Each structure stands twice: as C-alpha cells, then as structure tokens.
C-alpha cells in the first residue's frame, strides 16, 4: 500500500507535539498540580470558577467548565463554573457599550465574589480583554489561574498559579492546555 498523501504532514505534527511534551519539566508538573489544587479548593469551599479565552482558548474555557459542571470521569455533584465567553448577547452588549477589552472584567464585576477563582486561557498572554480581567479579578480578591505559552510568561507572573506550555506555536500550546485541563479535572475528581 502506498503512503497516504498527507502522511509527512501528520508525521511532522506528531513530532512537534512529542518534542513539546518531552520539554516538560518538574516546574511544569508542579504548576499543573498547583492549578488543580487551587481549582479543587475553590470548588470544595463552595465558591465558583470563572473561565475565559478568545478563539480556541474560548473553547478550552468552555471545555473546562463543562467538565466541572457536568462530570469528568467519576459521578459527583456538579460544581459552580461559568465560561465568560459563552453568552453571545452579553458579549456583544458589553463590547458595544464598554469596548471588547472589558467584556470579561465586567462579567466578573457582576457575577464573581472574593474567594472565587478566575481561570484565563491565552496562548500569547497578551489579549487585552484577558489582561483587564486579570486586574479586575485581583482587585476583587479572586484567585487567578493562567494557561498560556512561552510568550505569555509575563502575564503568568500575576497569577496565583499558572501553566505555561513549553511552546510558541499556537496549536502545540492548545494541545498542551487540553492535557493540562484534563489533569486539573482529574485532581478535582480525585478528591470528590
């Protein structure tokens, strides 16, 4: 049988993914564990998790929330979690009235309270609406958790815990974020 037409492309993608995973070190493992513990403690304490992102990162925020509200692996009670990028009516109203850079911060102001946790996903760590929301969460007394890539290291320093994927390529960062968010969900499940 002849090699598929796109076989080399697939091989290259798999190799780049494997290279990124091999770049993981103890600090990264500790970061994932810290994020998982913080999210677990927030939920176990009766508080809420608010997540957000743009584009593919918005999908990651929704994925995390769906696993927390529903279930990941084990049957357990649903937890209070909201993806701030889900409600199109709210996003467009806030964008129109307050500017797109404020769409997440304004929702935190309306919905969150001290003791809640704000989880942001940004492969670059430079999204203006995420930056504004990080500052709002800090001022409100929320814990802040970040998922980013190597270029987002600066923003991750303003977090209580962060996961910095060892990559600069958006697709590889998002792949790592998926694995990391599943680890977070495993940590939550393991103590339910």
Name the most confidently modeled range: 40-49, 151-160, 170-179: 40-49
The DSSP letter of residue 145 is E
Give the pLDDT confidence of 78-109 residue by residue, as tens digits.
Answer: 999 999 999 999 999 999 999 999 999 999 99
The correct answer on CATH 3.40.50.1970 for the domain covering 30-190 is: no
Q: Any bridge partners for residue 147, and if so which?
A: 121, 163
140-154 burial, b if ≥16 CB within 10 A, otherwise e?
Answer: bebbbbbbbbbbbee
pTM: 0.91
Neighbours of 64 (CB within 10 A): 27
- Which pLDDT score is estimated for 29? 82
93-124 burial, b if ≥16 CB within 10 A, otherwise e?
Answer: ebeeeeebebbbbbbbeeebeeebbbbbbbbb
For residue 58, what are its two tokens? 């918005």
Give the pLDDT confidence of 20-57 residue by residue, as tens digits.
Answer: 677 767 667 888 999 999 999 999 999 999 999 999 99
- Over pLDDT 90: what percentage of the chain? 78
């Amino acid at each position: 049988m002849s090699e598929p037409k796109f076989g080399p492309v697939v091989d290259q993608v798999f190799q780049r993914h494997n290279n990124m995973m091999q770049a993981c070190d103890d600090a990264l493992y500790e970061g994932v564990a810290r994020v998982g513990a913080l999210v677990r403690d927030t939920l176990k304490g009766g508080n809420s998790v608010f997540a957000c992102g743009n584009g593919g990162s918005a999908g990651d925020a929704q994925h995390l929330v769906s696993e927390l509200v529903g279930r990941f692996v084990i049957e357990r009670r649903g937890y209070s979690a909201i993806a701030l990028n889900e409600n199109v009516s709210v996003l467009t109203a806030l964008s129109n009235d307050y500017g797109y850079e404020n769409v997440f911060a304004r929702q935190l102001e309306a919905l969150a309270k001290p003791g809640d946790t704000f989880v942001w996903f940004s492969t670059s760590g430079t999204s203006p609406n995420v930056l504004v929301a990080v500052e709002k969460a800090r001022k409100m007394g929320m814990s802040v958790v970040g998922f980013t890539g190597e270029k987002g290291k600066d923003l991750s320093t303003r977090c209580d815990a962060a996961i910095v994927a060892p990559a600069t390529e958006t697709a590889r960062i998002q792949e790592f974020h998926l694995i990391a968010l599943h680890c977070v969900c495993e940590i939550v499940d393991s103590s339910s």
